[in-house]
A and B are shown apart, each in its own frame.
Chain A
Amino acid sequence: MADNKDVIAAIVGIEPGSALAEVVVGRADIMALTQQTHDGALTPVEPGGLSHAERAALACRIAKINDDKDFEEHFEALLDKAGASGATARIADIWFDGGSDARIKALIRHVDLVAHAPKDATRRDIELLQEAGLTDADIVRLSELVAFVSYQIRVAAGLRLMRGLA
């Protein structure tokens, strides 16, 4: 599992004293805020209607949709740590669509859509979440989770490419 003190640094493998570390330290404030947002999105003090286990499982899907094995492992470790039940852990299975559970089905459908093709999202997609019983506050929590993880995965993807620079 990636070190939760700085998930991106651990996943990218930013070695202390390396050329990349020297560049990143110039934006240390941004990297720290990124980590704090990670904690706020994945393990909030007040999770509302989205448990830590559900957040980790959904984040795992986002990592898979982005074809990012390192983040997949990181979120799997968070899922284990949250002590997820079998039903919740199953959300991380990319071939699982929620089955007969209308709420889980709506969560999965929305996360997959917004992670992969946000351009295709419409008012109807938010209505589907409301019809599945999500409160507006939980819809915002879910949206921040997908949006933030999509950001974090891209920052790491860019930094991995920078690691290859002389």
Chain B
Amino acid sequence: MSKVVHEFTTTIPEWKPYVKPLDLAEASAEQLEALKVTPSNTKVSDYVLVLAHDVETLTHRSPLFNGVMYNRGGLSRAEREIGAVGASIVNRCIYCAAVHAGRYNQITKDETVIAAIFADGVDAEMEPRLKAIFDFAVKLSKCPSDADASDMQSLVDAGLGKDEILDLILSSSLFGWANRLMHTLGEPVGE
């Protein structure tokens, strides 16, 4: 029997929307373009089909999302995932946390950091550079943001370059956006 997942996990749940996803048969040309639906690619997740109801933001969201998480240079992919996880912990987005914690583990082949974060939340212990990154993501994700000049200085002291700090700001903030969609428009369901 399937049930709603309330605890953090790296097992990716299924996402069940509270609203009706767009019916592809009723999609406009603009929606199909934003969804990148072609005759050979008709597989679109329910999440993206829900977002397709607002095509004027979805059109830009997908390239923006990919750029923030995967573009070249700057902060490492693994550390960007920690920015995403920090936000998802604050906003308790079980689904986003599962996906991005899983990616961190996959990239680093190390499960101890995520295990510590899932066990101890914002107080998790980890090596100093990662801790500065995680703390900054957590504080920026509060409402209002709780990040201050000393948190910024901690990033510099931990050895982050300005280009890396910018990428951390972007990945943490991006999940302030993603969590507010994923966690509020549907729920994570597991076996």
B152–A164 contact, CB under 8 A?
yes
Kindly state whether residue B158 has any CB partner on chain A within 8 Å: no
A151–B183 contact, CB under 8 A?
no
With A40-B57, A118-B91, A159-B169 known as contacts, the answer to whether A140 contacts B51 (CB < 8 A) is yes
Cα–Cα distance between A109 and B156 once the two chains are bound (Å):
39
Stretch of B111-119, B127-135, B136-144 with 4 or more beta carbons under 8 angstroms from chain A: B136-144
B131 to chain A, nearest CB (A): 18
B180 proximity list for chain A (CB < 8 A): 114, 118, 143, 146-147, 150
A26 proximity list for chain B (CB < 8 A): 73-74, 163, 166
Stretch of B36-44, B100-108, B170-178 with 4 or more beta carbons under 8 angstroms from chain A: B170-178
Cα–Cα distance between A140 and B31 once the two chains are bound (Å):
14
B184–A121 contact, CB under 8 A?
yes
A164 proximity list for chain B (CB < 8 A): 149, 152
> From DSSP, what is the main secondary structure of chain B's interface residues?
helix
Kindly state whether residue A51 has any CB partner on chain B within 8 Å: no
A155–B173 contact, CB under 8 A?
yes
With A30-B68, A162-B152 known as contacts, the answer to whether A150 contacts B143 (CB < 8 A) is yes
Which parts of B55-76 form the interface with A (CB within 8 Å)? Answer: 56-57, 59-61, 63-64, 67-68, 71, 73-74
Which parts of B67-113 form the interface with A (CB within 8 Å)? Answer: 67-68, 71, 73-74, 90-93
A115 to chain B, nearest CB (A): 6
Which range holds the interface residue count of chain B?
35 or more
With A23-B163, A33-B64 known as contacts, the answer to whether A147 contacts B178 (CB < 8 A) is yes
B167–A27 contact, CB under 8 A?
yes
Cα–Cα distance between A66 and B172 once the two chains are bound (Å):
16
Kindly state whether residue A158 has any CB partner on chain B within 8 Å: yes
B144–A67 contact, CB under 8 A?
yes
- A24, A126, A140, A155 pick with most chain B CB within 10 angstroms: A140
* Mask: chain A, 51-93; 1 = CB below 8 Å from B; 0 = not: 0000000000000011110000000000000000000000000
The 5 sampled A-B contact pairs (Cβ below 8 Å) are A37-B57, A125-B184, A136-B20, A139-B185, A141-B53
Report which B residues bind A (CB closer than 8 A).
18-20, 50-51, 53-54, 56-57, 59-61, 63-64, 67-68, 71, 73-74, 90-93, 140-141, 143-145, 147-149, 151-152, 156, 162-163, 165-170, 172-174, 176-181, 183-185, 187
Report which A residues bind B (CB closer than 8 A).
19-20, 23-24, 26-27, 29-30, 33-34, 36-37, 40-41, 44-46, 48, 65-68, 114-119, 121, 123, 125-127, 136-137, 139-141, 143-144, 146-148, 150-155, 157-159, 161-162, 164-165
